[in-house]
A and B are shown apart, each in its own frame.
Chain A
Amino acid sequence: MIFDWAFAWHILPQLVKALRITIAATVCGTLIAMILGLALAAARRARSRWLAWPVAGFVEFIRGTPLLVQMYVLFYVLPEAGVVLAPFVAGVIALGLHYSTYTSEVYRAGIEGIPRGQWDAAAALNFNRWQTFRHIIVPQAIPPVVPALGNYIVSMFKDTPLLSAITVLEVLQQAKLIGAQTFRYIEPLTLVGALFLVLSLISAAGIRVVEHRLARGKM
């Protein structure tokens, strides 16, 4: 089997177009994972057991089951309960939900790393719990965990091909379609790998820049 550069060049635009779906899914999934993760981390710290325990159970359940199964459930099972989601929407929710349980653990580590004296000082200044969390604890807890959060973004990005399993026309699905039509798989699949590699490296570099900025700004 010989790699046909002309054919690769020919199909590249189609793949790049599908890549946009991949990137969009990553961006939307990241937003969900970052915000929901922080909310889950906060809820697990709640004083009320009626909130903290169910949330802890939810986090462990989602972390302990495969992302692909969760996608199938959202896409194929929920309609039976009357909830019909577009493939992209179901996929993004699954990605965001799944990774929010990982990011919640990262946030939790960041929050637990804040010395007790900071909580004491905030209480002594009469901040309420929400103000303490929002203005004192979280701004200090996040910068140290940015690298860990970034790793999960890259990891999520590389999980987006799973979306092809629920018919989202992302880059891998597009490559498979091209393969099925032309009976050539080596070029589309190699290109998919290369595109992922390039984007992963770019995002890793981007995360390092953010990390660096935060470290400098903190002093």
Chain B
Amino acid sequence: METIVKLSKVEKSYGALPVLRGIDLEIGRGEVVSVIGPSGSGKSTLLRLLMTLDRPDAGLVEIDGEPLWTEADQDGRIADRARLRRIRGKIGMVFQHFNLFPHMNVLRNVTEAPLRVLKVPAAEADARAREYLEMVGLADKVDAWPAQLSGGQKQRVAIARALAMRPAIMLFDEITSALDPELVGGILELLRELSRARSMTMIIVTHQMRFAEECSDRVLFFDQGVILEEGPPKIIFHEPREERTKEFLKSILEAGA
């Protein structure tokens, strides 16, 4: 499998707090990877680095063979804007708190970036947005405003919005964590469908263990800023090698019971 995401010795601290302490990772094109682990273990930071929302303090991140940050990049920004935009164009992200644009209706939330960033003609952007909104089950909400939607509906819009940019890599940052329990299932079902298509590389930070087990090719267990254990879901969930992994899974199971 061709490598699309590669991290070598990546480190990141926020102030004095080390969040990632030497991450080495390769993800193949079309692979679905779930990232699990206790909060504060660096899972979300990994996604923020890949999305270029933050930059690592050390190490190398490569997307599609292209390094994200180089020596020329100062003050947390990529000096070469064209390169930054080319790399960002390959990646989409869905956030825990949706981050919909509250001043735009649902349709506009989805058409805005294709129109302005990809310069897609208006009619095509509109058709594309409706197609993705239908896919996420919100065909009847195109004219609604974000404030009128439930959390689950907002997250569906956010997924459609990211998909409309047709990224090669999709990052999902705890996208069910802010939802009421009864809305989680629907979003997971949607994610499941996306993962089945295997058309995108998906990196999913999640606390939904059953979902991670069923849908991923590989599971990474993050603990205290390192990937403590990784492997196929069968192994990680049923025969984990590390004591910390066992403890974590046990605590999650107990919390769920």
- Give A contacts to B, CB under 8 Å: 47, 115, 117-118, 120-121, 123-128, 131, 135-136, 139-140, 218-219
Q: Are A47 and B75 in contact (CB under 8 A)?
A: yes
Q: Are A124 and B103 in contact (CB under 8 A)?
A: no
Given contacts A124-B91, A125-B165, A219-B148, contact A139 B103 (CB under 8 A): yes
* Nearest chain B residue, comparing its CB with the CB of A120: B53
Closest Cβ of chain A to B45, distance in Å, is 13
Residues in B whose Cβ lies below 8 Å from that of A218: 102-103
Pick from B109-117, B226-234, B244-252 the stretch touching chain A: B109-117
Q: Are A136 and B162 in contact (CB under 8 A)?
A: no
Interface size class of B (residues with CB under 8 A): 20 to 34
Q: Are A121 and B77 in contact (CB under 8 A)?
A: no
Given contacts A126-B117, A219-B148, contact A120 B89 (CB under 8 A): no
Neighbour of B117 across the interface among A115, A117, A120, A125, CB < 8 A: A125
Q: Are A126 and B77 in contact (CB under 8 A)?
A: no
Residues in B whose Cβ lies below 8 Å from that of A135: 112, 116
Closest Cβ of chain B to A41, distance in Å, is 18
Q: Are A126 and B85 in contact (CB under 8 A)?
A: yes
Residues in B whose Cβ lies below 8 Å from that of A126: 85, 88-89, 113, 117, 165
Most chain B beta-carbon contacts within 10 A, residue among A47, A121, A140, A219? A121
Q: How far is the CA of A219 from the CA of B51 in the complex (A)?
A: 30
Pick from B10-18, B93-101, B185-193 the stretch touching chain A: B93-101
Residues in B whose Cβ lies below 8 Å from that of A123: 51-53, 88
Q: Mark B71-106, 1 if CB is under 8 A from A, else 0.
A: 000010100010001001101110101011111000
Neighbour of A117 across the interface among B77, B99, B165, CB < 8 A: B99
Query: Can you list 24 contacts pairing A with B, beta carbon distance less than 8 Å?
Result: A47-B77, A115-B99, A118-B99, A120-B99, A121-B99, A121-B100, A121-B101, A123-B52, A124-B53, A124-B92, A124-B93, A124-B95, A125-B92, A125-B113, A125-B117, A125-B162, A125-B165, A126-B113, A126-B117, A128-B81, A131-B116, A140-B103, A218-B103, A219-B145
Q: How far is the CA of A139 from the CA of B103 in the complex (A)?
A: 7
Closest Cβ of chain B to A45, distance in Å, is 14
Q: Are B81 and A117 in contact (CB under 8 A)?
A: no
> Does B55 belong to the interface (CB within 8 Å)?
no
Q: Are B101 and A136 in contact (CB under 8 A)?
A: yes
Q: Are A127 and B117 in contact (CB under 8 A)?
A: yes
* Nearest chain B residue, comparing its CB with the CB of A124: B93
* Nearest chain B residue, comparing its CB with the CB of A138: B103
> Does B43 belong to the interface (CB within 8 Å)?
no
* Nearest chain A residue, comparing its CB with the CB of B116: A131
> Does B135 belong to the interface (CB within 8 Å)?
no
Q: How far is the CA of A127 from the CA of B77 in the complex (A)?
A: 15
Residues in B whose Cβ lies below 8 Å from that of A117: 95, 97, 99
* Nearest chain B residue, comparing its CB with the CB of A121: B99
* Nearest chain A residue, comparing its CB with the CB of B118: A126
> Does B122 belong to the interface (CB within 8 Å)?
no
Residues in A whose Cβ lies below 8 Å from that of B161: 125
Residues in A whose Cβ lies below 8 Å from that of B127: none
Closest Cβ of chain B to A132, distance in Å, is 10
